[in-house]
Amino acid sequence: MKLVFERSRPGAHCDILPPCDVPKAELNAPLRAAPPRLPELAEVDISRHYTRLAGEAHGVNDGFYPLGSCTMKYNPRVNEEAAALPGFTGLHPLQPVETVQGALEALCTAEKLLCEITGMDAMSFQPAAGAHGEFAGLLLIKAWHHSRGDTARRKILIPDAAHGTNPASAVMAGYDVVSIPSDETGCVDLAKLREAVGPDTAGLMLTNPNTVGLFDGNILEITRIVHDAGGLCYYDGANLNAVMGIARPGDMGFDVVHLNLHKTFSTPHGCGGPGAGPVGCRQFLAPFLPGDRAVEDGDGFTLEQSTASVGQVKAFYGHFLVVVRALAYLLTLGREGIPEAAQNAVLNANYLMTLLKEDYDMAFTEGVMHEFVMTLEGLKKETGVSAMDIAKGLLDHGIHPPTMYFPLIVHEALMVEPTETESRATLEEAAAVFRGLLKQARTDPEALHRAPERTCVGRLDEVGASRSPRLRYRFDG
Ligand SMILES: *Cc1c(COP(=O)(O)O)cnc(C)c1O
C-alpha cells in the first residue's frame, strides 16, 4: 500500500479555509528556512487513504479479538454519542468552574460509581493509561510512608505472574522489585510471601484474578501479611472484567487501585491511547492523589487540589472525554448490568475453554475466571508448530490472535479472553477454527509456518521492528 507521501501530487489541496479577511502580518525573520514537506492531497484522496488504512487493521468491529488481559470488548456506540455532545467537546479546561458544572458533575459521578465498584474512597482521573495509573498509585504509597517519616521501605513485592508493567512502574517510582513465586496452583506462594516481607516492604502489587485467569482464594491472608509488615497493598485493576459488581478490591484489603477504562469500561484502546487509568485509594491516601479533583460543594461542584498531592501526572483532568464514555457505559449497564457483564465474561471464557480443552492443553482449568491460558509446548514438540504459528494462522480466519508468550510462567502460552460481548455462535465458530488449525499442524505444518497468507502483509520482522524501527518517512535525497 502506498504511503501518504507517495500519494502526494504537487498542487493538490483541500479548500477548507475561508479567504483571509484581516491584514497579513509580516514576520521580521522567517521561522523556517523552507516550508515543511507535507504531503499534498485532495480531500477525497486523504479520506480514501485513511479508509483503506483502517480496513487493513483488525479491530473489535471487524471480528473476534480474544487478546488475553486486554479485554477487547465491543464499545457501544452510545458512548461515542455522549462524548461527542457539544457541551463536552466545546469546553476549555481553564473555563471558570461555574461554567463547567455539568462536566464536573460527570467526573464526580464517574468517581462515585467507580469507587463503589472498587471499594475505594477517592479517585483521580489524571493517569492516561494503566501503567501510568500504577506509577501514580505507587507515588501515593511512597508519599504516605514518607509522610510518616518512614523512608526505609524500598521494596515492592510483585508475584511472578504479574503484568510486565507492574515491575516497570515500581522501578520508575524508585523502588526495588522483589518477585514472589507462584505455587503449583498458579497463585501466590504464601510461605514465600511471608519470607519476603519485612521492615523494608513498601507494598505489594497484585492482580486478582491474576494473569493466568485465576482468583487467588488466599487474598485476605495475602493482604494481611503485607499490612502486618507495615506495607500497603496495590491492586492492579486494569482488567476488572471478572469481578466488577461482584467482588471489590477494597474488601479484599487493598489500599490503592487503578482501573483501565479502556479495558473494563468499554472505551477504545486506540493504539495505546488516549486511554484512562484512574487511580483510586482509601481515605487516608486521598490527600496524596495527583492533580485537581472535581468535588461536590454545596449545591454545585468545584475543583480541589490537596497541598499534600504528589503533583500533576497529566494536564488538567486526564482524558476527560474517555471518562465520559466510561460513564455512559456505567449508566447504561447500571447496578444489575455491571455484575451481569462480569458473569457473562466468566461464562464465555469457561465455555470456550471447555470447547477446546479436549484438543488443546490448558495451563490451568480449575477456577478459571475471565480468561484462560493454553500451553502449546506439547504441540510444538510433536509437530514443530509453535504458539506463534497458531496465532498467525488465526489471522487467516479473521480472528485476532490471543496474547502470546504471556504470562511468562507458562511455556508456549496463548492467553484467551473472549469477553462478555461475544455471542455463543462466535465462540463456537472460533473453537472450530482453533480445532482446524490443530489438524493442519499435524497434516501440513509448513503451511502454518508461512501463515498468515490472506492478510495485507505476511509475517513481519518483529525483532527488526523493535530494534531498528523506521518511524518517519525518508524523503529521497
Ligand atoms: C493492560 C494491563 C496493564 C497496563 O495497562 P496499559 O493501559 O496498557 O498501560 C496493567 N496490568 C494489567 C493486568 C493489564 O492487563
Residues linked to residue 294 through DSSP beta bridges, in sequence order? 303
Q: State the Cα–Cα distance between residues 447 and 123, nearest whole angstrom.
A: 51
Atom of ligand 1 nearest to the CA of 162: 13
Say if residue 114's pLDDT is above 60: yes
- Span 215-227, mean pLDDT? 97
Cα 413 to averaged position of ligand 1 atoms, centre (Å): 18
Q: What is the per-residue pLDDT for 32?
A: 81
Q: In this structure, which residue's CA is closest to atom 14 in ligand 1? A: 238
Q: Which residues have CB under 8 Å from 397's CB, separation 6+?
A: 433, 436
239 lines ligand 1 (CB under 6 A): yes
**pLDDT tens profile 346-377:** 999 999 999 999 999 999 988 899 999 999 99
Index of the ligand 1 atom closest to the CA of residue 131? 9
Quote the ligand 1 centre to 415 CA distance (angstroms): 14
Q: Which three cell numbers stand for residue 147?
A: 509522610
Q: Is 188 in the pocket of ligand 1 (CB under 6 A)?
A: no
- What average pLDDT does the structure give for the chain? 94
Residue 477 is predicted with a pLDDT of 53
Judge contact between 314 and 292, C-beta under 8 A. no
Considering 19-28, 112-121, 295-304, the range whose residues carry the highest mean pLDDT is: 112-121
pLDDT band at 156 (very low <50, low <70, confident <90, very high): very high
CA of 152 to the centre of ligand 1 (A): 29
Determine the pLDDT at residue 321.
95
Ligand 1 pocket check for 238: Cβ under 6 Å:
yes
How far is CA 212 from each of CA 159, 220, 360, 361, 374, rounded to the nearest angstrom? 12, 19, 16, 14, 10
Residues 14-43, mean pLDDT to the nearest whole number = 86
Nearest atom of ligand 1 to the alpha carbon of 260:
7
75 Cβ inside 6 Å of ligand 1 = no
Q: Is 128 in the pocket of ligand 1 (CB under 6 A)?
A: no
Is any atom of ligand 1 closer than 6 Å to the C-beta of 371? no
Please give the Cα distance from 361 to 410 (Å, whole number): 11
437, β-bridge pairs: none
Ligand 1 pocket residue status of 131, Cβ below 6 Å: yes
C-alpha grid cell, residue 319: 482524558
Which pLDDT score, from 0 to 100, does residue 408 have?
82
Q: Is the CB of 210 under 6 A from ligand 1?
A: no
What spacing in Å lies between the alpha carbon of 395 and ligand 1's midpoint?
23
Report how far ligand 1's centroid is from the alpha carbon of 144 (Å): 24
Which residue has the CA at smallest separation from atom 8 of ligand 1?
A: 130
Q: pLDDT for 242-297, tens place per residue?
A: 999 999 999 999 999 999 999 999 999 865 458 999 999 999 999 999 998 999 99
- Asked whether the predicted pLDDT for residue 463 surpasses 80, the reply is yes
Closest CA to 276 of 111, 126, 165: 126
Cβ–ligand 1 distance for 206 under 6 Å, the answer: no
DSSP β-bridge partners for residue 416: 67, 372
Residue with cell 473494563: 264
* pLDDT tens figures, 391-430: 999 999 999 999 999 888 899 999 999 999 999 999 999 9
Model pLDDT, residue 270? 67
Q: How far is the first Cα of the chain from the last one, in angstroms, to the nearest whole number?
A: 22
Amino acid found at 432: A
From 236, 258, 369, mutation site for ligand 1 pocket: most ligand atoms within 8 A of C-beta: 236
Q: Is 208 in the pocket of ligand 1 (CB under 6 A)?
A: no
